[in-house]
């Protein structure tokens, strides 16, 4: 496995770490890789299988030498240790585990241990007790075909089997009102396993049309012509749902782009909703300032990117914000309009002077040229000079093929702080809020990293993008306590009066399975990893539970 670039190597390393976590979470053994018959694999996968020797041989040695363990293995060991402790010393009082489907094997073992305690109880989320026994047994049967793993009840069927009880032994905590109970039964019917779909004809006849209409009276289907229309409609639905005092509403979706659009639309109503998913660090102002600076330095020639840097709201350079804004507008008019070619930020002062001289000596001057003042021109020159000085630490690396990661990180930090410095010399605006703190934490970690890595300086923008990509900023609680935006897990554990299930489109809910760059489907099956259908089953279970809300909007 040969990465195309250093940034690609980072992405590959992240994928490999995810695979390692998956294998250790499922409790399978890396040694099973050696039992795979290479003749059954394509040539590419045979090469990959050899590469995975890094994980099976070199990585365990590194962990042993450094006295460390993988995070997933450590978590599973802690969970199993707690299960063993409860079995050795059963608590005198009650022990209740609620909201878990036991999708992680170690968690399933803990739940089984709690269920066997004298005062233990397991609260199963969304167990379908109306599904006929033949269908449920088809789901729970050992060795079932992979498609069964996509059923919403598969995880719970496996869990109660692990605990050692029958579905009939599970008691109902509460009884839903008739209409909502019928809705749950109908949703379960729609999602019944393929093995028993012939029963649809029988069960459909058992539900009068009036009862079905009543069950779905509080369910609304929203079909939008565009993504923007969908976001606007959801925002309106959420706002209207909380008009009456005491009412709460939430959007549940796995589509982060939709969640961000809805959040923005809600702000038009003066609502700042709680968004449990947060915002990608790469989309925050400070991170975008760094990205624009790196692109301008190491990939010159884009006037749009250069202008975006000059007009960035955090660009300070030690000047007043108004001066920066006016100077940027003048630089745009003089140097970045009218056939600029491929402008370079390092030579931008020279380009500005050359274009200014050309405009002054031309026979046909633009209408705005006569309005220029000596002060405005000097302000622009001052900004360009400060910009050149601010970028100098990073500009020194241009053209180098052996740039060191640690040195580039330090130069990037200095450059970023030069760019974001306010008129009073402070960096408060640059590192303000949760986003600023998150970026500062990431940069500190990169500066402190002991690994040595060299690469061509032109790769630095892509490398920094790869390093920032997985980071997310979790915001503080929103100003409106009655409207929230959740992921599927948060929706499973909370209740609102109106729930909007957003992004019910192919590839979003359920999310389209991603191909693994290190293991084919055959290889995963060979080492007892669950196929992608399991993720479909988890998404289907979340949908089935969400349909139990009082009022539901499907989008």
* pLDDT, tens digit (0-9, with 9 covering 90-100), for 113-146: 999 999 999 999 889 988 888 888 888 877 667 7
Tell me what pLDDT residue 23 has: 86
Structure tokens at 269: 């109503």
Is the preceding omega at residue 510 within 30 degrees of 0, hence cis? yes
Cα end-to-end distance, the chain, whole Å: 41
Please state which of the ranges 144-148, 185-189, 243-247, 275-279 shows the lowest mean pLDDT: 144-148
Please state which of the ranges 102-116, 122-136, 193-207, 453-467 shows the lowest mean pLDDT: 193-207
Percent of the chain with pLDDT over 90: 47
CB-based contact 383:323 (threshold 8 Å): yes
Secondary structure letter of residue 226 according to DSSP: S
As to burial, measured by CB atoms within 10 angstroms (0-12 exposed, 13-18 middle, 19+ buried), residue 433 is: middle
The CA distance from 383 to 304, in Å, is 18
Tell me what pLDDT residue 41 has: 62
pLDDT reading at 43 higher than 70: no
Secondary structure letter of residue 508 according to DSSP: B
Question: Which band of pLDDT confidence, cut at 50, 70 and 90, is reported for residue 282?
Answer: very high
C-alpha distances in angstroms, 386 versus 287, 324, 411?
A: 21, 11, 16
Structure tokens at 278: 């947060």
The CA distance from 296 to 294, in Å, is 5
Tell me what pLDDT residue 393 has: 96
Report, as an integer, the average pLDDT of 214-237: 94
Task: Tell me the three state secondary structure of residue 428.
Answer: coil
Q: Report domain extents, the chain.
A: 6-68, 218-278+475-554, 283-471
Question: Which band of pLDDT confidence, cut at 50, 70 and 90, is reported for residue 519?
Answer: confident
Question: 152, 91, 86, 89: which is closest to 124 by C-alpha?
Answer: 152
Tell me what pLDDT residue 363 has: 66
Half-sphere exposure of 482 (CA within 13 A, CB side): 18
Question: Which band of pLDDT confidence, cut at 50, 70 and 90, is reported for residue 208?
Answer: confident
pLDDT reading at 489 higher than 90: no
Please give the radius of gyration of the chain, using alpha carbons only, rounded to the nearest integer.
29
204-208, 281-285, 370-374, range with greatest mean pLDDT: 281-285
The CA distance from 10 to 540, in Å, is 33
pLDDT reading at 42 higher than 70: no
Tell me what pLDDT residue 433 has: 87
Q: How many CB atoms lie within 10 A of CB 337?
A: 13
Q: How many CB atoms lie within 10 A of CB 396?
A: 13
Pairing mode of beta strands 498-501, 551-554: parallel
Cα angle vertex 125, ends 124, 131, to 5°?
Answer: 90
Beta bridge pairs of residue 96: 121
Report, as an integer, the average pLDDT of 375-400: 94
Structure tokens at 91: 């608590």
Report, as an integer, the average pLDDT of 295-301: 93
Question: 37, 5, 1: which is closest to 16 by C-alpha?
Answer: 1
pLDDT reading at 424 higher than 70: yes
Tell me the pLDDT tens digit for each residue of 150-194: 889 999 999 998 998 998 889 988 788 889 999 998 998 888 888
Tell me what pLDDT residue 471 has: 92
Structure tokens at 80: 């199993």
pLDDT reading at 439 higher than 80: yes
pLDDT reading at 525 higher than 80: no
Tell me what pLDDT residue 138 has: 85
pLDDT reading at 389 higher than 90: yes
CATH T-level fold of 218-278+475-554: Rossmann fold (3.40.50)
Tell me what pLDDT residue 205 has: 77
Please state which of the ranges 2-11, 50-59, 451-460 shows the lowest mean pLDDT: 50-59
Beta bridge pairs of residue 404: 454
Question: Which band of pLDDT confidence, cut at 50, 70 and 90, is reported for residue 53?
Answer: confident
Average pLDDT, the chain: 88
pLDDT reading at 275 higher than 70: yes
Structure tokens at 205: 């006849």
pLDDT reading at 385 higher than 90: yes
Structure tokens at 189: 């019917």
The CA distance from 177 to 33, in Å, is 52
pLDDT reading at 259 higher than 80: yes
Question: 389, 350, 348, 355: which is closest to 372 by C-alpha?
Answer: 355
pLDDT reading at 1 higher than 90: no
Report, as an integer, the average pLDDT of 414-428: 94
Output the pTM of the full model. 0.83
Question: Which band of pLDDT confidence, cut at 50, 70 and 90, is reported for residue 408?
Answer: very high
């Amino acid at each position: 496995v040969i990465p195309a670039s250093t940034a690609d190597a980072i992405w590959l390393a992240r994928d490999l770490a995810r695979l390692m976590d998956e294998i250790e979470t499922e409790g399978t053994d890396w040694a099973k890789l050696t039992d795979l018959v290479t003749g059954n694999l394509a040539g590419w996968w045979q090469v990959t299988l050899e590469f995975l020797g890094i994980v099976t041989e070199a990585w365990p040695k590194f962990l042993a030498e450094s006295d460390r363990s993988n995070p997933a293995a450590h978590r599973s060991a802690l969970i199993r240790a707690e299960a063993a402790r409860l079995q050795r010393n059963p608590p005198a009082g009650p022990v209740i585990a609620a909201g878990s489907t036991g999708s992680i094997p170690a968690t399933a073992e803990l739940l089984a241990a709690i269920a066997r305690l004298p005062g233990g109880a397991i609260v199963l989320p969304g167990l379908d007790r109306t599904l006929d026994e033949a269908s449920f047994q088809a789901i729970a049967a050992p060795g079932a075909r992979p498609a069964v793993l996509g059923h919403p009840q598969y995880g719970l069927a496996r869990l109660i089997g692990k605990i050692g009880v029958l579905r009939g032994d599970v008691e109902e905590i509460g009884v839903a009102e008739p209409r909502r109970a019928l809705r749950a039964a109908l949703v379960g019917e729609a999602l019944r396993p393929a093995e028993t779909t012939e029963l649809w004809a029988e069960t459909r006849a058992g539900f009068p049309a009036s009862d079905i209409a009543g069950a779905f009276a509080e369910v609304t289907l929203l079909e939008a012509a565009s993504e923007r229309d969908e976001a606007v409609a959801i925002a309106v639905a959420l706002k209207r749902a909380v008009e009456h005092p005491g009412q709460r509403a939430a959007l549940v979706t796995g589509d982060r782009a939709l969640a961000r659009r809805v959040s923005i639309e809600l702000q038009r109503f003066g609502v700042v909703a709680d968004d449990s998913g947060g915002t990608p660090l790469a989309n925050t102002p400070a991170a975008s300032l760094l990205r624009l600076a790196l692109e301008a330095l190491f990939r010159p020639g884009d006037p749009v990117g250069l202008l975006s840097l000059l007009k960035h709201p955090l660009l300070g350079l030690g000047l007043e914000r108004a001066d920066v804004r006016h100077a940027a507008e003048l630089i745009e008019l003089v140097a970045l309009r009218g056939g600029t070619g491929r402008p370079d930020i390092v030579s931008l002062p020279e380009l500005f002077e050359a274009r200014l001289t050309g405009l002054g000596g031309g026979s046909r001057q633009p209408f705005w040229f006569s309005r220029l003042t000596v002060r405005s021109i000097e302000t622009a020159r001052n900004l360009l000079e400060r910009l050149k000085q601010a970028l100098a630490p990073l500009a020194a690396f241009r053209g180098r093929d052996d740039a060191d990661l640690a040195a580039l990180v330090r130069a990037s930090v200095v450059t970023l702080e030069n760019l974001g410095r306010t008129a009073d010399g402070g960096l408060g605006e640059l590192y303000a809020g949760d986003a600023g703190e998150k970026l500062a934490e990431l940069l500190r970690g990169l500066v402190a990293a002991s690994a040595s890595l060299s690469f061509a300086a032109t790769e630095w923008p892509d490398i920094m993008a790869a390093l920032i990509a997985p980071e997310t900023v979790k915001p503080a609680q929103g100003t409106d306590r009655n409207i929230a935006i959740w992921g599927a897990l948060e929706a499973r554990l909370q209740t609102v009066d109106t729930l909007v299930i957003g992004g019910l489109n192919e590839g979003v809910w359920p999310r389209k399975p991603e191909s693994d760059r290190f293991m084919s489907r055959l290889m995963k099956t060979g080492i007892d990893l669950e196929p992608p259908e399991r993720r479909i089953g988890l998404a289907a279970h979340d949908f089935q539970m969400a349909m139990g809300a009082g009022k539901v909007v499907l989008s």
